[in-house]
Structure 1
Amino acid sequence: MRAIPSLGLMLALFAPLAGADGLYRVELLLIRQNAVPALYGAAAPEDWRAGAAPLAAEAERPPSLGDMVERLQASGDYTVLLHQAWQQSLSAEPTAVALSAGEQTYGRSPIEGTLSLADGRFVATRARFWVNQLDSNGGVQRSEQFRQSNSNMKRGQLNFLDGGHLAVLIKVTPAGMRAQPAADAQLMEQ
């Protein structure tokens, strides 16, 4: 009989909070790997958002991966196409945001895409981006497409999603989590 109350207490302590949303800081870089030839496919659809909400201006945060961007660009091997950081709530149900970059022409942008995130044991992500070539009327002539997913991303770690010529670096960190100290450059060289 004594085991039953103890079991209930253990389950209450170790069970995840069902339906609890957590606040996260998300930072994303869409990059082109310059050594890999661009692959053009079907033009980005008119409804590229597919129900994803546009990123609200008040959710945007200053990016913290500026040193990573500088190293990527200095190498000459990569071109950073999009770099954004924001804060959002995550739950077990996927939440999608619509991201875009570049000068819009009649409602279309050179870079358009969606990022869907869900919180569970790991962070599940699904990214879909188009790098568009637009004509003077805002029509999409052709697009490079990136489409990848990962259902076991660890929180607070920089994750790489490889799509061949396009790739995404993404970091999802619980809000309020202390930043990891920068690694000593001498240790990195060893």
Structure 2
Amino acid sequence: MRLFRSLPLLLTVALTLFAPGASADGLYQVETILFRQLGEAPATPQRAPEHWDAGANRVTSENQRSPALSAMVDKLQASGQYQVLLHRAWQQSIGSEPSVMAVTDGQGQFGHYPVEGTLSLAIGRFTDYEADFWVNQMDAHGVLVSSERLKQSARIKNGELTFLDYGSLALLVKVSPL
């Protein structure tokens, strides 16, 4: 008889243990810092594709948040070894299915920005993260001349600052539940 009274509790515990992704859906703050490591040779120049943000939601003023890693940006810039290219923070609903956000910095011209990229996030026990950023060089008329690319994926722990290295470009990422 005692077993039947404990059964709902046992089922709840079992479901929590065997379905960790089911409780992971929710609202998160995502923060990224894209920077250049001075002294490193840039990757082979190429051009960002015309539809670099295909199917992605945009970081807008409605979902943008105050960055929490400003002290880290100050340290990077003060070292003289790094050039910070982009620092953004936003809130985003993340679940077990990948959610893609487009992030930009600078004045856009002809569909491109000086810094542009997409971030794909999916939450389970860890956060699966795919970054695809372009640092673009444009001529005086705003036409894209060349691009440097950072394409990296990782599995990161929620709430921890993670460093992704890609030659001359690097990315710091933090995904925290709100």
The answer to whether the superposition gives a TM-score over 0.5 is yes
**Mapped contact 2:24–2:124 kept (Cα < 8 A):** no
Report the CA distance shift for 1:13/1:117 in structure 2 as closer, same or farther (over 3 A). closer
Is the partner of 1:40 in helix, strand or coil?
coil
Aligned ranges 1:1-190 → 2 under 5 Å: 2=3, 5=7, 8-14=11-17, 15-16=19-20, 18=22, 21-151=25-155, 153-175=156-178
- Aligned-residue offset at 1:172: 0.5
Between the aligned residues of both structures, percent identity stands at 48
Count the aligned residue pairs. Answer: 174
Is the partner of 1:8 in helix, strand or coil?
helix
Greater mean deviation of Cα atoms: 18-27 or 110-119:
18-27
- Aligned-residue offset at 1:17: 5.9
User: Counterpart of 1:163 in structure 2: which amino acid?
Assistant: Y
Any runs of at least 4 consecutive aligned residues in structure 1 with deviations exceeding 4 A, and if so which? 1-4
Gap regions ≥5 residues in structure 2: none
Greater mean deviation of Cα atoms: 3-12 or 27-36:
3-12
Report the CA distance shift for 1:72/1:20 in structure 2 as closer, same or farther (over 3 A). closer
- Distance in 2 separating the partners of 1:169 and 1:159: 6
Gap regions ≥5 residues in structure 1: 176-190
Is the partner of 2:22 in helix, strand or coil?
coil
- Distance in 2 separating the partners of 1:170 and 1:105: 27
Report the CA distance shift for 1:40/1:19 in structure 2 as closer, same or farther (over 3 A). same
Looking at both structures, which has the greater relative contact order when contacts are Cα pairs under 8 Å and sequence separation is at least 6?
2
**Mapped contact 1:40–1:142 kept (Cα < 8 A):** no
**Mapped contact 2:21–2:96 kept (Cα < 8 A):** no
TM-score (norm 2): 0.89
**Mapped contact 2:20–2:124 kept (Cα < 8 A):** no
